[in-house]
Amino acid sequence: MPEQTASDAGGPVYNINDKLPPSTLILTILQHFFALAVYITYPVIISGAVCGSEDVTTTLISATLVGCGIATVLQAFRRIGSGHVLPIIPNSSYLPASLLAATGGGLPMLYGMLIAGGLIEMIISRFTRFFRFIFPTEVCGTVLFLLGIAIVPFAFPLFLGSTDSSPLDPASAVVGIITLASMIILSVIKKRIFKFYSTLIGIIIGFIAAAALGVFRLESFTEISSLTLFAVPEFAFLTGYDFSPALLAPFIIAVICIVMKTAGNITLLNSYTGNTDKKSLRKGLFAEGAGLLISGVLGGIGTGTSSSAAGLVVSSGVASRRVGFGLGILLIICGFMPFFGWLFHLIPKPILGAVLIYAVVFVMMSGISSIASRVLDPRRIFVVLLPILIGVSSAVCPYLYSELPKWAELFFASPLTAGSFAAVVLGLVLKIGIPHHKMLMTSDTKEIRKFVFECAGLWTLDKTQTAELAEEAASAALKNRAESIRLSLSRSREHLEMAFICAGGDVLHISRELI
C-alpha cells in the first residue's frame, strides 16, 4: 500500500512522493495525455487565422508539444517547479493576444511576444510574498469558479456536437452524454481501479458509442499508413522572431490571468496533498514562465498550467510527481512523432467535451470550497459575488463591451479575464480602511471569542482555524487573568499575533501561522 501523507480521508491515494505500480503509472499518464487533447485545437485555430498550410499547423502542434513536455517536467521538480502533477498545456487565455500578434505581424511576431511574456512571468514569480495580499484564498476560489464558466462556451459545443454556432447534433449529443455518464458512474464506484481510470475508460466507452452512432468512422485509422513515424519540427529559431512594444499590454494582461489561474491550481493541489512548501507557488510560476519562454523559442503557442488536469488529479486520487515526469517525457516524444498530432485530432469532439466538463466540475467545486472555507464579512462577499456577475455578463452580453478600445476590450474577452480582474481590483479597493490591529478591553471569554470571529471576518481567516484561535484566546485569557486582548495581522497575512495584557501589567504573546 502507498504511504498516504495527506491527513484527511479525502486526500490522494498516491501522494506527491509515493511510488506507483507500473500499470497505474502508465494508465494515469495516458489518462492525462488524452485529457489534454482538447487543447491541441488552439494551435489549429492560430494556424487557421494566418491561413497556415498543413505543414505550418503540424509544426505549431509539434513545437507546442515539445515545449509543454519540457515545462511539465520542470513543474514536477520540487527544486525548480511546484513539485506537483501540473501539466503545462496550450492555454486559451493567450488566444486573444496571440491572434492579434499572429495576424498583425505573422508567426515570428507571436513567438517573440511569447518570449517576452515568459520573461515577465518569471520576474513576477520573484514577488510571491505579496500574493497572499493581492490574491487571497477567496479571490483564488473565485477565479477557479470562473474557470468553469469560461469553459462553457468552448466545452458544450464540443459536448453536443455543435459547429459554427449550429444547433446540437443528436448523435454527437448522445455520444457526449454516454461518455460523461460513464465517467461519473465509474468515479463513484467503490473499487479504486474505476476511480483511477474513470476518464480513460470513459473515453474508450465514448469511442465505442461514437463508432456505433456514426460519429466516428473506423476508416479513419487507414490514414495512419501515410504518416511519417519520426520528424524533426521546423523550430522557430530556424526562422526568426519579431517583437512589438504595442502588443505588450495584451500579453501582460494574459500573463496576469495565467498567474491568477496557476495560483488557484497550486493552492488546490497544496490543499489536496497536504503540501506545506511555502515556495511552491513561486517555483511553480517560475517554471510556468520558463515553459512559456521555451514554447516561444521553439515556435509553439501560449501555454500555462491546466485546471482540468488539476481537477483530474483530485478526481483520480493519483498525485505522484512521477506522473508529471512521465507525462512530460511522453509529450516531448510526441512532438517528434506526427502520428500523435493526428491521433489528437482523431478523438471525436463530443468525447473531448465530456472530458473537459468532467474535469472542470472538480475545479469549480474546489473554488466553492475555497470560498466557503473563509470567514467573510459584507465587503468580502462583494469581492466574491460581484466579479462572478461581471464575468457572466461578458459571456451573456458581449455586445456591452464591443465598442471599448481594443486594449480595454481584452479585459472582457472571457468570463475568466473580466471576473478575475474585477476580483483583484475589488479585493484591493475594499481592503482600504481595514486595520491590521484590533484591541478589546475585557476579560469575558464569550466576548473574546466573539471578538476573534469579528477580526476573522475583517481579515478573511480560515473558519476552522478561527474556531481554534477563539478557543485558544479564551483559554489563555482565563488562565492568565487577562484584562484585554490585542490581535495583529502581519502585512504578508501569513501570521497572527495575540497579545494578552494581564493583571499586574505582564504581557503574554502568542503567534500563529495562518492557513
Following DSSP, what letter does each residue of 45-91 receive, concatenated? Answer: HHHHHTT--HHHHHHHHHHHHHHHHHHHHHHH-TTTS-SS---EEE-
Which helix (H) or strand (E) segment holds residue 154: the answer is helix 137-160
Q: Helix (H, G, I), strand (E, B), or coil: what is residue 484?
A: strand
Closest CA to 271 of 453, 472, 462: 462
pTM: 0.71
Amino acid letter for position 288 = E
pLDDT digits over 48-84, tens only? 778 777 678 788 888 999 999 999 999 999 889 999 9
Alpha helices in 347-489 (DSSP H): 349-372, 378-396, 406-409, 415-429, 445-459, 463-479
Amino acid letter for position 466 = T
Question: Residue 1: its pLDDT value, please?
Answer: 36
Question: Residue 492: its pLDDT value, please?
Answer: 67
Sites in the chain below the pLDDT cut of 70? 1-10, 38, 54, 196, 223-225, 238, 341-342, 344-345, 491-492
Euclidean distance between CA atoms 235 and 105, whole angstroms:
18
Question: Residue 345: its pLDDT value, please?
Answer: 63
- End-to-end Cα distance, the chain: 30
CA angle 152–158–164, rounded 5-degree value: 95
Euclidean distance between CA atoms 336 and 65, whole angstroms:
9
Residue pair 298/65 in contact by the 8 Å Cβ criterion: no
